């Protein structure tokens, strides 16, 4: 849909284009948002594709490229840390990155709390003694990390590729939450060392087992059986929509994040969730096996096909109806409502403080702020920001 200046104001898809477009022009059941959008439509442009999956991919690309005003837009540009292992390297390192690149490396996360990612990497490097140098190369002598027992010096050949890879495989199992498998293997190693009277090595393995158990104990939040899921909940207020997403990896919740949207208060919940999924996973390489939501989406099957083509595994969108899965989605919804309420309370407290400072009789409803800049009195530029009824 385009306005009189040929600007794209909305991008949509439909199996039956005539029925979909005509629905916007019916006299009944139109929200304020639709009324505003329809009033600005000047003309249409359409593209015919082979199937619904292709239509969804094209819709996502056009929304990302043109940022239409009346589509659901993910404006939050924060990036969250991932733990990266370059498995193609002979002696991989474990690092924190905020960039997801399709380079064959393994990525774990996202970690909504950057401190948790750093704590995990520090734990791995301390307990597994993998290399810590940024650029690996062969040396004639080992560095200080080897002498203080923080590295096994692969640069001088003190550990083979095969033995180093065993450590990396164990780290990958750890990050994927397969702790039972790791602990079983380590227990066998410890007993073997003890049997051969290698007590120092046995103690080292024992300490590693205990450290892994402590690290995993901190992360146990749910008893959901799936290893790799995202849980999405949503709450609405008079002015905003908040979407909360929980990240569950290896049956443990490793973090969460929330996003705010304005101007969508009169949009259907399932339309908002569908739009969020398209925006959020468009450039996200770390797509889970399952996405859990409250209610079924109209384009659920097309979304599943699209997400599955972006990764190496099948992706399922599951609308929870009962049991523990429903409780987990309701927990995400409850948290999204609390997040939204806290934001509204913060705005109210700021306005109350402003009212008291300025000795006003009522709360301010509209605030205009101006900033004017110049260079030695020339090249003047001005900016204005307006907040009305607590909305920017």
- Region 276-296 average pLDDT: 86
Distances 63 to 31, 56, 263, 275 between C-alpha atoms, Å? 22, 11, 17, 10
Q: Give the least confident one: 149-163, 218-232, 290-304.
A: 218-232
The answer to whether the predicted template modeling score (pTM) of the entire model surpasses 0.75 is no
Q: Which of 213, 221, 215, 222 is nearest to 180 (CA)?
A: 213
pLDDT in tens, 337-370: 988 888 877 777 788 888 888 888 888 888 899 9
Confidence of residue 10 (pLDDT cuts 50, 70, 90): very high
- Contact in structure between 368 and 362 (CB atoms under 8 Å): no
CA distances from 190 to 54, 126, 168, 178, 187 (A): 54, 19, 19, 19, 5
Distance CA 95, CA 92 (A): 10
Radius of gyration of the chain measured on its C-alpha atoms: 27
Average pLDDT, whole number, for the chain? 82
In the chain, residues under CATH classification 3.30.420.10 are: 228-343
- Tell me what pLDDT residue 273 has: 93
Instruction: Say how far apart CA 227 and CA 168 lie, in whole Å.
Output: 20
Output the six-digit token pair for 39.
Answer: 């009033």
Specify whether the CB–CB gap between 341 and 242 falls below 8 A. no
**pLDDT tens sequence across 288-342:** 889 999 988 988 998 999 999 888 889 999 988 877 778 888 888 998 998 888 8
Q: How far is the CA of 390 from the CAs of 48, 73, 266, 357, in angstroms?
A: 42, 20, 18, 18
Q: Residue 77 pLDDT > 60, yes or no? A: no
**What is the pLDDT, as a whole number, of residue 64?**
80
Least trusted range by pLDDT, from 3-17, 106-120, 321-335? 106-120
- CB within 8 Å of 336: residues ≥ 6 apart: 233, 234, 235, 242, 243, 244, 258
Domain 228-343 sits in CATH at 3.30.420.10
Range with the poorest average pLDDT among 38-52, 172-186, 313-327: 172-186
Which of 288, 324, 323 has its CA nearest to residue 308?
288
Question: Per this entry, what is the length of the chain?
Answer: 392
Query: Is the distance from CB of 131 to CB of 143 less than 8 angstroms?
Result: no
């Amino acid at each position: 849909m385009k306005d009189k200046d040929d600007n794209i104001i909305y991008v949509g898809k439909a199996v039956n284009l005539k029925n979909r477009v005509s629905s916007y022009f019916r006299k009944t059941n139109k929200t304020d948002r639709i009324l505003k959008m329809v009033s600005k439509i000047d003309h249409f442009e359409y593209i015919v594709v082979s199937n619904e999956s292709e239509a969804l991919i094209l819709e996502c690309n056009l929304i990302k490229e043109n940022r239409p005003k009346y589509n659901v837009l993910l404006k939050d540009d924060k990036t969250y840390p991932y733990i990266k292992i370059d498995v193609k390297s002979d002696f991989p390192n474990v690092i924190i990155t905020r960039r997801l690149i399709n380079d064959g490396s393994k990525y774990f996360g996202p970690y909504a709390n950057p401190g948790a990612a750093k704590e995990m990497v520090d734990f791995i490097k301390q307990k597994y003694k993998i290399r810590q140098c940024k650029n690996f190369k062969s040396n004639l002598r080992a560095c200080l990390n080897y002498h203080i027992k923080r590295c096994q010096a692969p640069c001088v050949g003190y550990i083979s590729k095969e033995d180093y890879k065993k450590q990396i495989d164990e780290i990958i199992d750890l990050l994927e939450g397969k702790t039972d498998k790791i602990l079983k293997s380590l227990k066998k190693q410890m007993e073997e060392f003890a049997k051969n009277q290698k007590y120092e090595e046995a103690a080292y393995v024992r300490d590693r087992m205990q450290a892994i158990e402590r690290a995993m104990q901190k992360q146990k939040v749910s008893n959901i059986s799936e290893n790799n899921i995202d849980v999405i909940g949503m709450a609405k207020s008079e002015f905003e929509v908040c979407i909360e997403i929980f990240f569950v990896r290896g049956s443990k919740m490793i973090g969460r994040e929330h996003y705010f949207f304005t101007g969508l208060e009169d949009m259907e919940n399932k339309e908002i969730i569908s739009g969020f999924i398209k925006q959020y996973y468009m450039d996200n390489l770390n797509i889970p096996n399952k996405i859990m939501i409250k209610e079924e989406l109209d384009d659920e099957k097309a979304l599943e096909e699209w997400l599955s083509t972006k990764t190496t595994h099948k992706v399922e969108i599951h609308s929870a109806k009962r049991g523990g899965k429903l409780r987990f989605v309701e927990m995400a919804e409850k948290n999204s409502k609390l997040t939204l309420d806290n934001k509204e309370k913060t705005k109210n407290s700021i306005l109350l403080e402003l009212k008291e400072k300025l000795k006003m009789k009522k709360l301010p409803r509209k605030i205009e702020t101006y900033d004017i800049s110049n260079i030695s009195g020339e090249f003047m530029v001005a900016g204005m920001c307006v907040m009305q009824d607590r909305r920017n």
